[in-house]
Amino acid sequence: VSSIAIRFENGKLELLDQQQLPHQEIWVDATHPDNMESCIKQLKVRGAPLIGVAAALCLGEWARSGVSEDEFKVAAQKLRKSRPTAVNLMLAIDRLTAMEFDAEKVFLEAQKIYEEDQQLCDRIAENGSKLIEDGDNIITHCNTGGLATAGVGTALGVIRKAWEQGKRIHVCVDETRPLLQGGRLTTWELEKLGIPYTLICDNMAASLMAAGKINKAIVGSDRIALNGDFANKIGTYGLAVHCYYHRIPFFVAAPVTTIDGECESGQQIPIEERNDFEVRGVKTFAGDVEWAPSESEVYNPAFDVTPSELVSQWILDTGNYSLVDIRENALKELV
C-alpha cells in the first residue's frame, strides 16, 4: 500500500504530515488508533476519502495486532467520531465493524477499501475529464488531490487527467482560508505535476470571473445529500454563487460513497465549528502568527452547504449527472 499521502509496510502505517507541507515532507506513525485519531483531529491527514481509507487501514492492522473484539470496537467508535462531517469515514468504519470479527478478514477488507478508493478516483477523473476542454481556465477550492484521497483525487484528479490527456489548461487555486489547503497543498501537488496555476486569495476569484479569466470551477465534497446539495470546505458556497452570477459552469466531483443516504437535503448536514485561533491568525509549519485582537469573537465553520441549483454537473465514479438527473432521483438510486 502506498500513495503520495499514505505508506503501509510490514504492519507500520505512516501518514505524510500535511500540516508540514509544502516546505517539509515528514512522515508520522499512525499505526495505533490513538495516533490516527490525533492525526485526523490535527488535520495531519485530511480529505474525506483519505481519512476513511487511513482509518480503515489503521483498524485493519489494529484487528490483526491481537486485540479483543471489544478493544477493536472501542477504537472503531473513537475513530468514527474524530471528524463529524466525513461520511466516508463513518462508512468505512461501519463496513469493518459490521463484519464478523475475524482479524485477517477485517485486515483484507481494509485493503479493499484502500484499493476501491484508488479505482473510484480513476473513474471520477475519467468521467470529469470529458467536461474539461483545451484552453480551460479552471478554478478550484481547498485540496482534492492525492493528498485528499488514496488515489489521484476527486476535483484535482479530474484536472490531472485532463492535463495528461494533453489539454492545455490553467488552474486558479483559491488559498482556502483559514487552513490554507489550497495555498499549501494544491499548489504543492500542481508543482509536482507540472500543471500551470495561479494562487489567489479567496476574495479575488470574483474579479477574475468578471474579467473573463475563469471559465470553469470544480470542487470536491465531504458529503452529498440525496437532493444534490453538498457540504464542502468553507468558501465553496460563495464560489458557487460567484459562478452562478457570472454564468460559469460549476462542477462537484466525488465518489458515490460521499452520498449520505440518510440525508434528504443539505439542511440536515451538521456543520463542524472549529477553534477561534484559526481565524485570528495562522498556525503553520513555518510558525504561528496571531494578528487579530485575542479577545475577538470569531465564527469558524469548517464547511458550508451548496444547494443543488448552483451545481452544473455532479461528477461521480458512476458517471456525470445534471440537475435534471438529480431531480429524477439519480442519487437515491446510487445508495
| Out of 17, 116, 175, 222, the residue judged to bind a second copy by CB under 8 A | 175
Q: Check residue 22 for interaction with a second copy (CB under 8 A).
A: yes
- Residues 6+ positions from 300 with CB-CB distance below 8 Å: 178, 273, 274, 275, 276, 278, 279
Contact at 8 Å (CB) between 118 and 213?
Answer: no
Catalytic residue among 136, 222, 229, 260: 222
Nearest to a second copy of 73, 274 (CB atom): 274
For residues 260 to 299, the per-residue mask of contacts with a second copy, x marking binding by CB under 8 A and - elsewhere, is: -------------------xxxx-xxxxxxxxxx-xxxxx
Nearest to a second copy of 32, 177 (CB atom): 177
Burial 221-249 (b: 16+ CB within 10 A, else e): bbbbbbbbbbbbbbbbbbbbebbeebebe
Nearest to a second copy of 74, 201 (CB atom): 201
| Out of 33, 157, 178, 220, the residue judged to bind a second copy by CB under 8 A | 178
d(Cα 212, Cα 221) in Å, to the nearest integer?
A: 26
Nearest to a second copy of 66, 194 (CB atom): 194
Q: Check residue 197 for interaction with a second copy (CB under 8 A).
A: yes
| Out of 76, 156, 218, 305, the residue judged to bind a second copy by CB under 8 A | 305
Closest by Cα among 53, 252, 30, 283 to 148: 53
Between the two ends of the chain, the Cα-to-Cα distance in Å is 28
Q: Check residue 163 for interaction with a second copy (CB under 8 A).
A: no
Q: Check residue 202 for interaction with a second copy (CB under 8 A).
A: yes
Closest by Cα among 297, 332, 46, 298 to 179: 46
| Out of 125, 234, 254, 316, the residue judged to bind a second copy by CB under 8 A | 234
Grid cell for residue 236:
465553496
**Whether residue 229 lies in the annotated active site:** no
Contact at 8 Å (CB) between 118 and 144?
Answer: no
Q: Check residue 245 for interaction with a second copy (CB under 8 A).
A: yes
Q: Where are the alpha helices (H) located in 14-169, listed in sequence order?
A: 33-41, 48-64, 69-80, 87-97, 103-129, 155-164
Nearest to a second copy of 9, 299 (CB atom): 299
12 bridge partner residues: 9
* Residues lying near a second copy in the complex (CB under 8 A): 22-23, 172, 174-178, 180, 183-184, 187-188, 191, 196-208, 210, 234-235, 237-239, 241-242, 244-245, 279-282, 284-293, 295-301, 304-305
- Active site members: 222
